[in-house]
Chains A and B, each alone.
Chain A
Amino acid sequence: MLWYKSWLETRWRFLIGLALLLCSAGATVLVYPKILQLTRFVPANVSGEIGERIREAAALSREYRGYVWSQWFRQNLPQWGTLFAVLLGAAGALSTSAGALFTLSLPISRARLLTVRAALGLGELFLLTLVPSLLIPLLSPTIGETYSIVDAIVHSVCFFVVVSAFFSLALLLSTVFDDVWRPVLIALGIAFVLSLLSRVYNRPYSGYGLMSAESYFRSGHIPWLGLLASAAVSALLIWAATSNLSRRDF
């Protein structure tokens, strides 16, 4: 029943996230023919960082696999996925506005409460990542293209492992602050700073390179070490959240 309680407390965030990501994934596929037409008009003589980016995006978009990676796994999914990972994490295990004292009066340890919430949140996050990504191979034939289901799964799993660190960070912050907004704003702030750093250094093994599994896209190598490090960070943050919640006064 703890699972049911956690589901009731997070279901709207999850369902809204799922609907939004499904729309975004569907739109990514359906606008491809238009994007392909536009790539012909990309000027070759624009200089500087922006020009390079435009040319790179156009080059990737000439091939459907490159377009899906660049548009969905490198752009839309990280943006929306990170937002909903943080929102799900910030729901916390013991929201002070939703029966916290009643929960604390039950013979349930705080560690169990947090474990159930973390497990359910990570499950929801996994579905948020995987289901919209699987829509891409399913929808691609409608525009006369194909996309590998294996690629969709590999990219989604890599994204999930990395973004779960932001979920865990928000979960930890929810054990520190009583309101929802501070954990959300701090975790999103950290995510924003990390994304800027990733863009500055622009390496396949930076945080956002890992999120989009750039090394897998370019060379077929799964970034095991980076994924392992992300999973370790996530586990550490959940452990810190459990420890903090267990000590906290209500």
Chain B
Amino acid sequence: MADTAIIETNDLRKHYDGVEALRGVNLRVQPGSICGFLGRNGAGKTTTMKILLGMAQPTSGEAHVFGLAADSPRESLEIRRRSAFVSEEKDLYPHMTVEAIIRFTAPLFPRWRDDLLQRYLRKFDLPRTRRIKTLSRGTRTKVALLLALCRGAELLVLDEPTSGLDPASAEEVLQALVAHAGSEEMTVFFSSHQISEIDQIADRVVIIERGRVLVDGALDDLREKFRRIHFVFDHDAPEVTFRAAGVGRVKRNGRVLTVLSSAGVDPIVEEVRPLHPRSIDVVPVTLKEIFLETVNAED
């Protein structure tokens, strides 16, 4: 269903001064989803977002948003008319007041929502007459989010939306996002290295490491597929070379053999059963563990 994806990239690559920032990124984000883009610092999250919004050009590969080519200046304008972006720095115009930046932004978006503006001005308790440069980072984040949410955008792209915020402000921002996405039928694509945030609000997750997508799927599916299996033996755990698909990290610790699986349990259990383990214990895996296992496996 290639025509229904809001975001789609094929073998997206980007080189900066000899550094490979993206090494063939393939992404598909479906409409209406809240997709968490998870990765360590420098993994390629911001670069991918910038390419999607026409702020940077790919070295090769394709990026489409709403079916429009992100590297075409004309189509990129339309992409930006239908989407909203909040950068990690929340860099707004320091000399403008909150009121002035709202008046500056609103006319650029034909679907600007004054009702939402009033709602979020009240909700975030923003000082309309103060200059942006005098605001705290938390308040600046709320202004940036307000400007993004009121555009009537179909896609919200957020780069580390809660970075630098205290836990209370971060929670407020996340709650506002979830409520907005739920009521306005919009797609949210947000990056973070805060696993708990993605776990809290995303329904889909993409894990990127060193410019490559390692995991891409619905969060529920990932939780279902990823399992940690503990085999306990009467003697020291044997060394096993698995043939089954989806075997992640294998660890032997005394009498215990631990296997991380990303493709079900049964084939792995069947391979170990002839070795007569005393007990087999299957444990669900958290998103944090999935992230750490996949990222560490790359190292």
A residues sitting closer than 8 Å to B (CB atoms) are 1, 4-5, 8-9, 98-102, 104-110, 246-247, 249-250
The answer to whether residues A105 and B53 also contact, given A1-B107, A4-B104 and a CB cut-off of 8 A, is yes
Per-residue A-contact encoding for B99-115, CB less than 8 Å = 1, 0 else: 01001110111000000
Contact bitstring B46-87, A, C-beta under 8 A = 1, else 0: 000010011111000000000000000100011011001101
> A109–B55 contact, CB under 8 A?
no
Shortest distance from the beta carbon of A113 to any chain B beta carbon, whole Å: 12
Q: Look across to chain B and name the residue whose beta carbon is closest to the beta carbon of A96.
A: B91
Do residues A102 and B78 form an inter-chain contact, with CB atoms below 8 A?
Answer: no
A99 to B96: give the CA distance in the assembly, Å. Answer: 11
B242 contacts which chain A residues (CB < 8 A)?
none
Question: How many residue-residue contacts, CB under 8 A, span A and B?
Answer: 66
For B94, the chain A residues whose CB sits under 8 A away are: 98-99
Beta-carbon nearest neighbor of B103 in chain A: A1
Shortest Cβ distance from A189 into chain B, in angstroms? Answer: 26
Decide if B91 touches A102 in the complex (CB within 8 Å). yes
Chain A residues whose CB sits within 8 angstroms of the CB of B77 once the complex forms: 107-109
Provide the residues of chain A in CB contact with B107, threshold 8 Å.
1
- With an 8 A cutoff between CB atoms, is B128 at the interface? no
Q: Are B56 and A102 in contact (CB under 8 A)?
A: no
Taking a contact as CB atoms under 8 Å apart, the answer to whether B92 and A102 are in contact is yes
The 9 A-B residue pairs with the shortest CB-CB distance in the complex, in nearest-first order: A105-B85, A107-B81, A249-B56, A101-B87, A107-B80, A1-B104, A8-B95, A99-B93, A250-B55
Q: Determine the distance from Cα of A73 to Cα of B295 in the docked complex, in whole angstroms.
A: 67
Closest to A7 in B: B95
The chain B residue with its CB closest to the CB of A111 is: B73
Distance in angstroms between the alpha carbons of A100 and B87 in the assembled complex? 10
Query: Which of B53, B92, B108 is within 8 Å of A99, CB to CB?
Result: B92
Query: Is there an interface contact between A107 and B108, defined as CB atoms closer than 8 Å?
Result: yes
CB-based contact B85/A101 at 8 Å: yes
B93 touches A250 (CB 8 A): no
CB pair A8–B56 under 8 Å, yes or no, is no
CB distance from B221 to the nearest CB of A (A): 32
A98→B91 CA distance, assembly (Å): 7
Q: How many residues of B contact A (CB 8 A)?
A: 31
In this complex, what residue of B is CB-closest to A108? Answer: B108
B185 in contact (CB, < 8 A):
no
- Judging by beta carbons under 8 Å apart, are A106 and B103 in contact? no
CB-defined contacts of A247 to chain B, threshold 8 Å = 57
Give B117 Cβ to nearest chain A Cβ, in Å.
Answer: 16
Is B186 part of the binding interface, using a Cβ–Cβ cutoff of 8 Å?
no
Distance in angstroms between the alpha carbons of A51 and B57 in the assembled complex: 60
Measured CB to CB, the closest approach of chain A to B126, in angstroms, equals 16
- Could you tell me which residues of chain B, from 128 to 163, have a CB within 8 Å of some CB in chain A? 144, 147
Nearest B-chain residue to A106, judged by Cβ? B108
Whether a CB of chain A sits under 8 angstroms from the CB of B271 is no
Give chain A residues whose Cβ lies under 8 Å from the Cβ of B89: 101
Query: Taking A1-B103, A106-B80, A107-B80 as contacts, is the C-beta distance between A250 and B108 under 8 angstroms?
Result: no
Residues of B within 8 A of A108 (CB): 77, 108
B93 contacts across to A, CB distance below 8 A: 5, 8, 98-99, 102
Cβ B144 vs Cβ A102 within 8 A = yes
- Smallest beta-carbon distance A249→chain B, Å: 4
- Which residue in B16, B53, B57 is a CB contact (below 8 Å) of A104? B53
B96 cross-chain contacts in A, Cβ below 8 A: 5, 8
Least CB distance, A224 to chain B, in whole angstroms: 37
The 8 Å CB contact of B73, one of A99, A101, A246, A249, is A246
Is B50 touching A106 in the complex (CB atoms < 8 A)? no
CB atoms of B78 and A249 under 8 A apart: no
Q: Which of A100, A107, A247 has the most CB of B within 10 A?
A: A107
Complex Cα gap A101–B47 (Å): 12
B55:A104 contact, CB within 8 angstroms = yes
A104, B157: Cα distance in complex, Å? 13
A14 to B50, CA, bound (A): 33
B73 to chain A, nearest CB (A): 6
Q: How far is the CB of B219 from chain A (nearest CB, A)?
A: 27
Distance, CA A104 to CA B56, complexed state (A): 10
The CA-CA distance from A109 to B107 in the complex, in Å, is 15
CA gap between A106 and B87 in the complex, in Å? 12
Task: Name the residue among A8, A100, A105 with the largest chain B CB count within 10 angstroms.
Answer: A105
- What is the distance, in angstroms, from A101's C-beta to the closest C-beta of chain B? 4
